[in-house]
């Protein structure tokens, strides 16, 4: 993905001035030096921002449990792409550009409207101050907690991008059928090492996989690598060799604790119950298997590496300082006259 971004931390006074600057855009491709990310970036400009986001996540999760899966997945899809963590994922399609949300790599992403709900709550308190990019990352952080995962302290100060990067997604986001070498290389390019990759894929402990993404392991013949005791359940959930992508046909990633982010995923894939090719490879590749075994034995170790990897991912080359803008609505770039 190119060289790692260099983050320069400004003095407290300068940060305050940046926070209070109106949300006018500057082309994110300029050479303006980024101000950098810091803890509690909004402590002066919007002291209640993080509390509002956390409270909204709790309320929305109470009503719609599957929102937490979406928030967690959003971090990966927004932050692993060039000029990342800029909420470009949230932009709707226009006449000139396709939304990242509508690409094959983003298949199954949903619940974006709930990010709009959080944005509206924050805007009522502090209009034009808090970026959609920070809301995306912090809702992911709080979604992890809602799922029983660790609280991960994350920095803020991201700015919002103005354009979709749909045309380059496949260069950065590994697919579920990629080789383990490709997966490791893609993550290494943003500073995430092998145990970090193994931990991030532990996100497959929660949520579900649509039949579209796994029928190739069932039809025309069952993948012999699959645990026979698990195949019956998969065939029951995915009875069609060509499933309707719009139909509600899916298999829970973890039948034991489907709503809990835990290390049961690693025990499952060691038992050949991983749904995706990447899950199977993770448990069998000599580079990753030792970490899979270690995480299967220790949830503390899993959480430690998961928190470290999420932190690196969330700080991957964001727009900061005077770059980008603070969107008024997360699904559209601001209009400038």
Tell me the pLDDT band of 30, cut-offs 50, 70 and 90: very low
pLDDT at 6: 34
How far apart, in whole angstroms, are the C-alpha atoms of residue 325 and residue 158? 9
Q: Does the pLDDT of residue 16 top 70, yes or no?
A: no
Q: Stretch 52-71: mean pLDDT, rounded?
A: 91
Q: Stretch 294-298: mean pLDDT, rounded?
A: 98
Look up the CATH architecture of domain 48-170.
Orthogonal Bundle (1.10)
**Binding site members for substrate:** 174
How far apart, in whole angstroms, are the C-alpha atoms of residue 335 and residue 337? 7
pLDDT at 108: 63
Q: How many beta carbons lie within 10 A of that of residue 22, not counting itself?
A: 8
Q: Does the pLDDT of residue 10 top 80, yes or no?
A: no
pLDDT at 88: 92
Q: What percent of the chain has pLDDT over 90?
A: 66
pLDDT at 3: 40
- Which is the catalytic residue, given 77, 210, 230, 280? 77
Torsion of CA 300, 307, 57, 275, to 10 degrees: -80
pLDDT at 106: 65
Contact in structure between 75 and 310 (CB atoms under 8 Å): yes
Tell me the pLDDT band of 144, cut-offs 50, 70 and 90: very high
**Binding site members:** 78, 81, 86, 88, 100, 174, 204, 254, 257, 262
Residue ranges of domains in the chain:
48-170, 174-313
pLDDT at 322: 93
Greater confidence (258 vs 298) lies with 298
State the average pLDDT for the chain: 86
Residue 233 annotated among the catalytic residues of the structure: no
Tell me the pLDDT band of 93, cut-offs 50, 70 and 90: confident
Contact in structure between 41 and 156 (CB atoms under 8 Å): yes
Which fold does the domain 174-313 belong to in CATH? Peroxidase; domain 2 (1.10.420)
Q: Does the pLDDT of residue 15 top 50, yes or no?
A: no
**Binding site members for Ca(2+):** 78, 81, 86, 88, 100, 254, 257, 262
How far apart, in whole angstroms, are the C-alpha atoms of residue 253 and residue 207? 6
pLDDT at 105: 65
Contact in structure between 61 and 146 (CB atoms under 8 Å): yes
- Smallest Cα–Cα separation from 325: which of 8, 13, 22, 17? 22
């Amino acid at each position: 993905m190119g060289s790692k971004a260099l983050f320069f931390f400004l003095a407290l006074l300068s940060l305050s001035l940046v926070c209070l600057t109106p949300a006018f855009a500057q082309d994110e491709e300029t050479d303006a030096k980024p101000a950098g990310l810091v803890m509690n970036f909004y402590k002066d400009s919007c002291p209640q921002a993080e509390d509002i986001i956390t409270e909204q996540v709790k309320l929305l999760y109470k009503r719609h449990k599957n929102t937490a899966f979406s928030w967690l997945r959003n971090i990966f899809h927004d932050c692993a792409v060039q000029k990342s963590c800029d909420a470009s994922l949230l932009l709707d399609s226009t006449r000139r550009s396709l939304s990242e949300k509508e690409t094959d790599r983003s298949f199954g992403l949903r619940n974006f409207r709930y990010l709009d709900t959080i944005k509206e709550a924050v805007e009522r308190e502090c209009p034009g101050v808090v970026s959609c990019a920070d809301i995306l990352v912090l809702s992911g952080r709080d979604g992890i907690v809602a799922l029983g995962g660790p609280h991960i302290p994350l920095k803020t100060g991201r700015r919002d991008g103005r354009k979709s990067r749909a045309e380059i997604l496949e260069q950065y986001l590994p697919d579920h059928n990629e080789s383990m070498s490709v997966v490791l290389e893609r993550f290494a390019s943003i500073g995430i090492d092998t145990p970090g990759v193994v931990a991030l894929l532990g996100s497959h402990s929660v949520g579900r996989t649509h039949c579209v993404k796994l029928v190739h392991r069932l039809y025309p013949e069952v993948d012999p690598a699959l645990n026979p005791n698990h195949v019956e359940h998969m065939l029951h959930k995915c009875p069609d060799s060509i499933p309707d992508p719009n139909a509600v046909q899916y298999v829970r990633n973890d039948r034991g604790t489907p709503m809990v982010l835990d290390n049961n995923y690693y025990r499952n894939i060691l038992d050949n119950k991983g749904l995706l090719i990447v899950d199977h490879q993770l448990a069998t590749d000599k580079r990753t298997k030792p970490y899979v075994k270690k995480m299967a034995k220790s949830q503390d170790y899993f959480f430690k590496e998961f928190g470290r990897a999420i932190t690196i991912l969330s700080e991957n080359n964001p727009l900061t300082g005077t770059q980008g803008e603070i969107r008024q609505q997360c699904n559209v770039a601001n209009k400038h006259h």
